[in-house]
Amino acid sequence: MKGTSRPGLRHVLLSFCALTLVGIAPADAASERPCGPSDAREAASFFDAFFARRMRESKITGLVFALVSRGEIRLLKGYGHADVHGTAPVYPETTLFPVGSITKLITATAAMQLVEKGQLDLHRDINDYLGSWQIPATFPEPITLAHLLTHTSGFDDQNIGSYVHTPQEALPLAERVVQRLPWRLRPPGRLAAYSNYNYDLAGYLVERVSGVSFDQYVREHLFLPLDMDATGLGQVQTTTGFWAQGFIQRHSGLQLAPPTFDDTPSSGLVTTGRDMAHLLLAHLQRGRFNGYRILQEPTIQRMQARQFAPHPRLPGVAFGTSEYLRNGQRALAQGGISPGFVSLLFLLPAREVGFFVSYNNCHPLQHLNADLMAAFMDHYYPAVPTSANASDPGDSQRMRGLSLAAESSTRLAGTYRILRHSRVTPEIVATLLVGQKLVQVADGRLLIGEEEWCQQSPLFFTRGRQCAAFEEDEHGTITYLHLPDGTYERIPWYETMLWNVGAGLFCTLIFGVTCLAGMLGELSRLVLRRRQPSRLLGGLRRVVLAMAALNLIFLVGLYQVLQASDLYDFLYGMPLTLQGLLVLPLISAALNLSLLFLLPMAWRKGLGSRRSRVGYAVITAVGFGFLALLYNLNLLGCFS
């Protein structure tokens, strides 16, 4: 994922995890609604009204939109302005928008061209194409191109330092995939966990096999044939185009997004509304555009077919897109987030309909893409009411009587964490703020968060139009929860938000009281002119006080950094202030280790009162517990 924005880390991270589908269509009778956007005038009226309201509510400066249907561009329009001064309108033919992860469809298409030519094999070990540099054989099963294109490779997801500000800072693709190689966490093909690295590596395979740079390949084999003249990766050279300015929500209000250079196969695409309409037409016309074919029809069908799904009733993934299921229709979608921009590509292959939109505002809580997809489907392809419809009023009453057994209560209840997160960098802290769901069973009812779900069959539940499925291992232990917005893993108590936040607050209290008591003790000795303690006892007190003070400074400083920073500060690399703070726990660890020698000596010699020695022992134990807490959150000795 690359990129999101937010007012503070807590709110930005919501943009990665929040994919709630909100139906906002008017309550017309189904018979009065059009079946598909075939009338250009009606489509313009619908989208004009939708975007006018969303731009007003979400303070969106500008956007570009393209709608295609049955081989024709039905609507191509810019809304609002492309600049901060409001003087440059958005032109769909020339205004350039970075579209983030929509680039993945380009990369998947390029890879499938080489598959079609027999130069790449979807199910062959990718190490066969990589030459001297190889992916570690962590598991017996090799990673294949199909795994990369479906996010089932099993790689860790790491985002810190994934962006740069200028072209001079960017690494060549061959160096990038080597330097940013993540850990392999699980066997390939087992679970889907979204990761930009998958598509960067797929782009590198295209580069290796074709013998030209990825940028040159897609320019010659996709952009030129599709008449996408203004489209490119990174910094597009154009004499007529104008770059839209992106905006992000910071504490002080709406501000210009920081300058960003991205030319990666996972998220580096820069394009216009017109050019994206051409890409939509090619994929909806089974690979054809203006007499040119970018892929054969069977290959396009293979790309758009479901390649992986955690459960038959849940959305799956295709090559370059993910499924979106609503009102009995199957669509394919790919969202994109780039600093200051939110984009969406949407395909309805069976109806030969698709659209593209890009906003120059990246606010994490707006659910712009989800709202648009829901509104579009409910307006043009509304659900057909049936007596068996799971969302009818009688359904909740019928299912309310289906109680869960007591055995299910212990099996299902627990805390589950989104699978897409880094296990080896401080990014894991983000899952304490968002990305965890508490599952409870009370009075025979299943609650995921605060939402009640109805059991349809063992381990399968529904809530209106949405489905949820639990997964068990060979021993019958529940290990995963599959939801429409992704897969969640069941986690032990010591990784839950409640435990970590509670333990952090407890440690803050202990270290704070220790520092206060130490300062008051020193002050009283000075005022009352008490005799100085022995050298050993004085050293013990100073080490305990220094350890507590360092830990307290770290905790307060970490809180301040996370509250004052935006996610973009981390996407361009670890902030220097945080790197400095991460030195403190290492010094604290050294002090803690020294206490293992000082404390036994103090007890053996009976120095100080018994109460004071017990107090030092308790503080030392809390210190080691705090270090374990930091280690579990990758905050101990991890600077990137």
Position 386 in a domain:
no
| 516 and 481 inside one domain | no
Query: According to the model, what pLDDT value does residue 640 have?
Result: 65
CA atoms of 241 and 12, how far apart (whole Å): 30
Find, among 551, 559, 544, the residue nearest to 612 by Cα. Answer: 544
End position of a domain, from candidates 491, 508, 538: 491
Residue matched to tokens 């293992």: 596
Query: According to the model, what pLDDT value does residue 150 have?
Result: 98
Query: According to the model, what pLDDT value does residue 403 have?
Result: 58
- Extract long-range pairs of 480-483: CB within 8 Å, 24+ residues apart: 480/191, 480/310, 480/416, 480/419, 481/416, 481/437, 481/439, 481/448, 482/310, 482/311, 482/314, 483/314, 483/437, 483/448
Query: According to the model, what pLDDT value does residue 237 have?
Result: 63
Six-digit token string for 341: 């921009």
Give the residues across from 324 on adjacent strands. Answer: 331
| 351 and 410 inside one domain | no
CA atoms of 76 and 547, how far apart (whole Å): 63
End position of a domain, from candidates 353, 380, 407: 380
Helix (H, G, I), strand (E, B) or coil at 453: strand
Within 10 A of 70 (CB to CB), how many other CB atoms are there? Answer: 14
pTM of the prediction?
0.88
In what helix (H) or strand (E) does residue 552 lie, and over which residues does it extend?
A: helix 535-564
CA atoms of 185 and 195, how far apart (whole Å): 12
| 459 and 372 inside one domain | no
Helix (H, G, I), strand (E, B) or coil at 137: coil
DSSP state of 224: T
Say what the alpha-carbon torsion angle 512, 517, 522, 528 is, to the nearest 10 degrees.
150
Q: Classify residue 566 as exposed, middle or buried by CB count within 10 Å of its CB (0-12, 13-18, 19+).
A: buried
CA atoms of 331 and 349, how far apart (whole Å): 7
Helix (H, G, I), strand (E, B) or coil at 154: coil
Q: What is the 3-state secondary structure (H, E, C) of 176-216?
A: HHHHCCCCECCCCCCCCCCCHHHHHHHHHHHHHHHCCCHHH
CA atoms of 309 and 313, how far apart (whole Å): 9
Position 141 in a domain:
yes
Q: What is the pLDDT of residues 496-550, one digit of tens each?
A: 999 999 999 999 999 999 999 988 877 877 776 666 667 788 888 899 999 999 9
CA atoms of 259 and 251, how far apart (whole Å): 19
CA atoms of 116 and 94, how far apart (whole Å): 33
Report angle CA 221, 226, 228 to the nearest 5 degrees: 100
Residue matched to tokens 């075939």: 38
Query: According to the model, what pLDDT value does residue 21 have?
Result: 32
For the chain, the C-alpha Rg in angstroms (whole number) is 28
| 180 and 216 inside one domain | yes
| 454 and 331 inside one domain | no
Residue type for position 65 = F
Query: According to the model, what pLDDT value does residue 530 have?
Result: 66
Find, among 158, 184, 162, the residue nearest to 171 by Cα. Answer: 162
Query: According to the model, what pLDDT value does residue 361 have?
Result: 85
By DSSP bridging, strand 486-491 and strand 72-80 are: unpaired
Find, among 432, 435, 430, the residue nearest to 565 by Cα. Answer: 430
Query: According to the model, what pLDDT value does residue 230 have?
Result: 93
| 172 and 204 inside one domain | yes
Q: Which residues contact 559 (CB under 8 A, 6 or more apart)?
A: none
Position 217 in a domain:
yes
What Cα–Cα distance (Å) separates residue 392 from each residue in 135, 185, 449?
Answer: 51, 42, 23
Q: Classify residue 179 as exposed, middle or buried by CB count within 10 Å of its CB (0-12, 13-18, 19+).
A: exposed
Is residue 101 within 8 A of residue 341, CB to CB? The reply is no
Our measurement of the distance from residue 111's CA atom to the centroid of its chain's CA atoms, rounded to an integer in Å, reads 24
Six-digit token string for 174: 């061959």
Q: Domain holding 90: CATH number?
A: 3.40.710.10
Boundaries of domain holding 483: 394-491
Six-digit token string for 33: 């609604």
Q: What is the pLDDT of residues 392-428, one digit of tens each?
A: 433 443 444 455 665 566 799 999 999 998 888 888 8
What Cα–Cα distance (Å) separates residue 460 from each residue in 312, 328, 419, 467, 475?
Answer: 11, 19, 19, 7, 18
Helix (H, G, I), strand (E, B) or coil at 621: helix
| 402 and 517 inside one domain | no
Is residue 592 within 8 A of residue 624, CB to CB? The reply is yes
Q: Is 483 left (phi over 0), alpha (psi -120 to 50) or beta?
A: beta
Query: According to the model, what pLDDT value does residue 109 have?
Result: 98
Query: According to the model, what pLDDT value does residue 2 have?
Result: 46
User: Which residues of the chain register pLDDT less than 50?
Assistant: 1-31, 365, 388-401
| 614 and 567 inside one domain | yes
Position 338 in a domain:
yes
Position 453 in a domain:
yes
In what helix (H) or strand (E) does residue 569 lie, and over which residues does it extend?
A: helix 567-571
Position 95 in a domain:
yes
Six-digit token string for 461: 């539940």
CA atoms of 229 and 227, how far apart (whole Å): 5
Find, among 55, 64, 13, the residue nearest to 343 by Cα. Answer: 64
Residue type for position 569 = D
Is residue 69 within 8 A of residue 353, CB to CB? The reply is yes
CA atoms of 174 and 487, how far apart (whole Å): 31
CA atoms of 53 and 60, how far apart (whole Å): 10
Residue type for position 266 = S
| 262 and 283 inside one domain | yes
Position 2 in a domain:
no
End position of a domain, from candidates 491, 517, 551: 491
| 125 and 230 inside one domain | yes
Six-digit token string for 39: 């009338």
| 238 and 311 inside one domain | yes
| 461 and 506 inside one domain | no
N- to C-terminal Cα separation, the chain: 18
Query: According to the model, what pLDDT value does residue 386 have?
Result: 61
Position 187 in a domain:
yes
Domain count of the fold of the chain: 3
